[in-house]
Amino acid sequence: MRYKLAAENKVAKYLRYAIGEILLVVIGILIALQVNNWNEHRKTKIEEKKFLKQLKIEFTDNQNKLAGIIHHHRTINYSLRKLLAAIKPKPEVIPEDSLTKYLAELPHIRFYKPKKRTITSLISTGKISIISNDSLIVLLGQWSENLEGYQYGMDIIYDLYQYQILPYTVEQLHFRNAMIDVGHGNSGPSSFSYHADKILSDSKLENLVELRRVNEESIELNAIKLEENQAEILELIEKELSKD
């Protein structure tokens, strides 16, 4: 057609035809790009859903674990306050099993070890940007910071335990009795008796208990903050997964 129009010296018609052909090619390219973009977007959404499902599984498990850890912190705090109330220059006599229980809680530590394989993978591979909900990305960043703060607090408690509390309780606590109380082993009670008045009138014990209490109550607040953070993350993940 172009050759025919050119031969007949119909320049205007030739140009219109040529421009039409160019427009058709451009439109075809644009359609192809749009289809390709749509296909890539579809693949990205599928991959995002996969990561969101993995995050949901991990954070649901983390939330269940953390509930137990918070209960542990509260139990420890209760025992520490009971022990502090009993420590004085002239202490009142308390049952030996109660004293054993309270002293056994002093070195008792449980660590929160959350699952973070998916979030670590998202960050290390740079695929965190695949998550389209900006608020969820912010919450995941806050979770990493909150977890780091919580673990730092636990490191402080562990150092206190390892270098001060454990050496003291080794001298004062009958571990055979403590193991019976918490159900570890059946070697029977210790043949040695407590000197409760001596233990409970020791200012060093008071200092150690108070240090543990202050740090334990602080770490409990951090754990509660972490729990709230995780609840918000799960809520947003659920909203994203419910979308078409």
| Nearest Cα to Cα of residue 220 among 67, 59, 60 | 67
pLDDT at 10 over 80: no
User: Is residue 139 a contact partner of residue 232, using CB atoms and an 8 Å limit?
Assistant: yes
pLDDT digit string (tens) for 201-228? 889 989 999 999 999 999 999 999 999 9
Burial class (CB within 10 angstroms; exposed 0-12, middle 13-18, buried 19+) of 124: exposed
The Cα 128–Cα 208 span in angstroms is 44
Exposure of 164 in the CB half-sphere (CA atoms within 13 A): 15
Under the banding of pLDDT at 50, 70 and 90, the label for residue 193 is low
CA dihedral 231, 234, 239, 243 (to 10 degrees): 180
pLDDT at 235 over 70: yes
pLDDT digit string (tens) for 142-179? 999 999 999 999 999 999 988 998 888 777 766 666 55
Percentage, residues of the chain above pLDDT 90: 47
* Whole-number average pLDDT of the chain: 84
The Cα 210–Cα 200 span in angstroms is 13
pLDDT digit string (tens) for 104-125? 778 788 899 999 999 999 988 8
pLDDT at 188 over 70: no
Confidence at residue 142, expressed as pLDDT on a 0 to 100 scale: 95
Regarding pTM above 0.95, the answer is no
Confidence at residue 181, expressed as pLDDT on a 0 to 100 scale: 47
- Name the CA radius of gyration of the chain, rounded: 33
Mean pLDDT of 50-57: 95
The Cα 159–Cα 165 span in angstroms is 9
pLDDT digit string (tens) for 19-32? 777 888 888 788 87
Confidence at residue 28, expressed as pLDDT on a 0 to 100 scale: 79
User: Is residue 215 a contact partner of residue 158, using CB atoms and an 8 Å limit?
Assistant: no
